[in-house]
Chain A
Amino acid sequence: MKRTMTTATRRFGFVITSAVLLAACVGTATAQSDHSEHEKYKYKNDALVYAELAKAPKKAVARRNPLESDSDAVLAGGKLFDQHCTECHGELADGTKKGPSLRADPVQQATPGALFWLLTNGVVRRGMPVWSKLPEPQRWQLVSYIKSLNPPKPAATAGEQTLQH
């Protein structure tokens, strides 16, 4: 009986140890993945904000910008951007400590609908307020402006620099 208990205890201990090791491996892998994700961007918070774009519901992601063909939308969006967004995202929209770059791939590759959804809902826990106080057309104008931004040019590699010289 005693031996049975001991075996059971050993098995239990083995299972627990395995579970802990597995969790540790998964945790480490996730942490490494998060870490490398964070390192891709200037600030730690950036990846977390970009990740919110993926949480937009399908219906929101599929929404088209009704001002797509409005020639003034980018200009008006730029004006709104100056008024409301530069404080956190920088005058060139390339990001500051307070807010991520809007020229980065996750933003530029996001659909207008996803950007509109993020603007409307904010990322309150990460410091981005909700912007639903701006009327819907103004939020679409902002989306037009953000989508018009050119992504940053990739830094020239050493080889390329040599060739340029």
Chain B
Amino acid sequence: MKLTLLRTKTLDRANPLRDIAKVVPRPLGGLARMIPWVCQLILVFAALAISAPAQESPYIVTYDHYLEEPGSLEVEYFSTFGTQRGGNDFHAFWAEFEYGATAWWTTELYFDGQTTFNDSTIFTGFRWENRFRLLQREHFINPVLYIEYEQTSGADKILKEVEGHDVEADYADPNAIARQDHDHEIETKLLLSKTFNGWNIAENTIATKNVTGGNPWEFGYAIGASRPLALKASARRCSFCPENFIAGMEMYGGLGDTYSFGLHETSHYLAPVVAWNLPSDWTLRLSPGFGLNDNSHRFLLRWGVSREFSGFGSAISRLFGGRQ
């Protein structure tokens, strides 16, 4: 809501139409609009063509306490299709490069974009995320510290996390207006997670601050539970073995900000999640999400494909003359 008001202010001038005309981005051509779809198709076909498996969690918003294996690079592509009341539906997407720097530190780079139907396709910013494992061994609850810097425009719609008073109406503005807002955010999370009897239970507490201007800290949460369909691995290599599928549920939403902490004017989602860990380090994820109150998008459909490249660090090291 706050964001909407802010955006309205930026147009509150003598001739708002002229201003809009100046900033309206030239919509990308038909071919360019198809880029995300083509990328997805290529990745999906490649995933199906190559047969060997990662053990990735099915969560799209929630984080568990497992980090990327040291030296491995995971390349991920995710999409979010969202319905929008009072505006056009959208398809937001992001590419993610996740690298295991050490066994206790994982670093990630995101590039975000979105297509608002009947509007335009635009690049909306980048994020740099770091996760640090705080304890050396497994404990009853395992904490991980998450620190992210993000530089995104107000048109960013990937909904990677929901925080503060984020509500559906914030996403109704045309791209031309929304992209005028620029956020420089520091986002911190405390990730708590535990795995027992095959079940993973994870809880994330989020605190975010837009460092431009005197914005308050905004809060949010994400919780998730998941379990592989089978706990024992089968002796043969297979794509459709039940242990390759992990299913679960996640729930996420905002908790207000330092000025008004609580559930007032916040949005919340419940989303079943499923991951298919294909042999060959490919993972496919699917998650239909449902808004739980009137402030939420009614429906979010998320899907993603990722591929892990083991030994990426060693390969780069060798490239520059290092020894294996």
B66 close to A133 (CB less than 8 A):
yes
- Main secondary structure, interface of A, reads helix
Q: Which of B47-79 contact A (CB under 8 A)?
A: 52-55, 57, 64, 66-67, 69-72
- Main secondary structure, interface of B, reads loop
* B72 proximity list for chain A (CB < 8 A): 87
* B237 proximity list for chain A (CB < 8 A): 79
How many residues does chain B have at the interface if contact means C-beta atoms less than 8 Å apart?
39
Tell me the complex Cα distance, A84–B100, Å: 14
Q: Which of A78-97 contact B (CB under 8 A)?
A: 79-80, 82-84, 87, 96-97
Among B55, B69, B235, point to the contact of A79 (Cβ < 8 A). B235
Q: Which residues of A contact B (CB under 8 A)?
A: 72, 75-77, 79-80, 82-84, 87, 96-98, 120-130, 132-138, 141
4 new A-B pairs (CB below 8 Å) besides A76-B235, A130-B138, A136-B231? A127-B70, A129-B67, A129-B69, A135-B243
A42 to chain B minimum Cβ distance, whole angstroms, is 12
11 residue pairs A–B, Cβ–Cβ below 8 Å: A76-B232, A76-B234, A124-B136, A127-B103, A129-B69, A129-B103, A135-B232, A136-B197, A137-B231, A138-B233, A141-B232
A132 close to B195 (CB less than 8 A):
yes
B137 close to A124 (CB less than 8 A):
yes
**Interface readout for B13-56 with A: 1 if CB under 8 Å, 0 if not?**
00000000000000000000000000000000000000011110
A133 close to B103 (CB less than 8 A):
no
Among A75, A77, A120, point to the contact of B138 (Cβ < 8 A). A120
B314 close to A98 (CB less than 8 A):
yes
* A135 proximity list for chain B (CB < 8 A): 198, 228, 231-232, 243
Q: Does B324 contact A (CB under 8 A)?
A: yes
Tell me the complex Cα distance, A4–B237, Å: 83
* B57 proximity list for chain A (CB < 8 A): 133
Tell me the complex Cα distance, A72–B291, Å: 45
Q: Does B133 contact A (CB under 8 A)?
A: yes
